[in-house]
Amino acid sequence: MNVADSQRVASALEHLGYQASPRAEEADVVVMNTCVVRQSAEDKAYGRLSSLNKIKKHRPDMVINLMGCLVGVKGNAKVAQRFPYVDVFSPPSDPMPLVDYLIKRDGREMEATEVAQRFAWQDEDLVLPVEQRGNLVSAFIPIVYGCSHACTYCIIPYRRGIEASRPPEEIMAEARALAAQGVKEITLLGQIVDRYGKERPDYPNLSGLLRRLSNVDGIERLRFLTSHPNWMTDELLDTVAELPKVMPHIEVPIQAGDDLVLKNMRRGYTNQQYRELIERIRARIPGVSIATDIIVGFPGESEEQYQQTYELLADLKLDVAHLARYSPRAGTVSERRMPDDVPDEEKWRRFRLLEELQEGIAGEIHAGYLDRTVEVLFEEQVRGRWKGRTPTNKLVFVETETDLRGRVLPVQITRTGPWSMQARLPAE
């Protein structure tokens, strides 16, 4: 979501005549986009902010824009007070505060409303920053902003605001513009992406949107994330199975394996229901890969309760598990009402055990790809090797002199590990 937001700001700035600079030290304008989902992310933002302050002391004209969840949709007076050298504060996804500021500062003739109209993201020039046009193979499109599902640990609804689906025409226009700029793969984004269109009877649902997007010429692959177990309909699963452009990969977080912990998290489902959901996904989408998110050390989580998570991961053998240690976020229900009583070392222990387990599972799943031929969409060259992804979202590297950017090619897997695979082009 933040990557998509940052690209949007970059495009807007280019529209005003600014260019990307490789180093903050040399930039006239620095935009710092922030995440606060865990304390570690927030701390990183503070660290970067103070190093920007050092630069600004030498170059007082430098404009610093603090953007994203550290600011939030309602603004953040504490942060504004603590970082007086920040010139502009912007909520998530919104380039306009900075645009307005720069228009005024630079004494431009342009009316802010005129700019806002142009930045309705229907303008083909604006979708990707210049340096990425023709370079970026895989792009994100946010389709649901904000979130209205009150998971007790989560700060996102407070900072990104209530759930709002983007108009389908806007999404389609953006997809067509991205395709025209060379993008081959689009990932649709939302905190609960499968709730797309729920509050708008005149909008299609996610299945309908995927159908429409399937017709965009030039776009070869579609993905979406993140799903919530309670909103994954059979219709959506069947759409994924049916539409050739929609990749067989589902990101559906469980967060914890124990029913009481799930209840305290206010997730709205049980261990058993999640297991049934995984069965249902696998039955309806042949060859599907599934990713989950897990939080260890939620308030009150006992060893036995944690074991439920461990067993669930061991049983289900999912492709990916994004692991996190519980981090209390100011103002959330869990922070206010539930003591953060699992010691840090214990959170780390649980985290490492799950990491080890999942590494074994992923290694095993990947070993099953050995010698197989799979279709890979190649994105970029990384240290001399071409990096791409299988339909199931597995990372594949190919060593070759040929320019593979943006191409979908069948390759033969020659080596596998828990994190990635190596492959060769056919008949080489």
Contact residues toward ligand SAH (CB under 6 A) are 37-38, 147, 153-154, 156, 191, 226, 253, 255, 293, 295, 324, 326-327, 329
Tell me how far apart the alpha carbons of residues 48 and 44 are, in angstroms, rounded to a whole number: 6
Residue with the two structure tokens 């505060």: 97
- The pair of structure tokens assigned to 83 is 């970082």
Q: Is 121:6 a contact under the CB 8 Å cutoff? A: no
Tell me how far apart the alpha carbons of residues 396 and 422 are, in angstroms, rounded to a whole number: 5
Residue number with CB closer to ligand SAH (209 or 295):
295
Min dist. Cβ of residue 273 to ligand SAH (A): 16
Work out the number of other CB atoms within 10 angstroms of the CB of residue 43.
11
Residue number with CB closer to ligand SAH (1 or 179):
1
CA 282 to chain centroid: 23
DSSP SS3 for 278: helix
Min dist. Cβ of residue 171 to ligand SAH (A): 19
Min dist. Cβ of residue 326 to ligand SAH (A): 5
Work out the number of other CB atoms within 10 angstroms of the CB of residue 250.
28
Min dist. Cβ of residue 58 to ligand SAH (A): 37
Min dist. Cβ of residue 94 to ligand SAH (A): 19
Tell me how far apart the alpha carbons of residues 92 and 72 are, in angstroms, rounded to a whole number: 6
Min dist. Cβ of residue 193 to ligand SAH (A): 9
Residue number with CB closer to ligand SAH (62 or 154):
154
Residue number with CB closer to ligand SAH (156 or 396):
156
Residue with the two structure tokens 């060859």: 287
Residue number with CB closer to ligand SAH (205 or 327):
327
Q: Cα angle vertex 407, ends 406, 408, to 5°?
A: 125
Residue number with CB closer to ligand SAH (94 or 251):
251
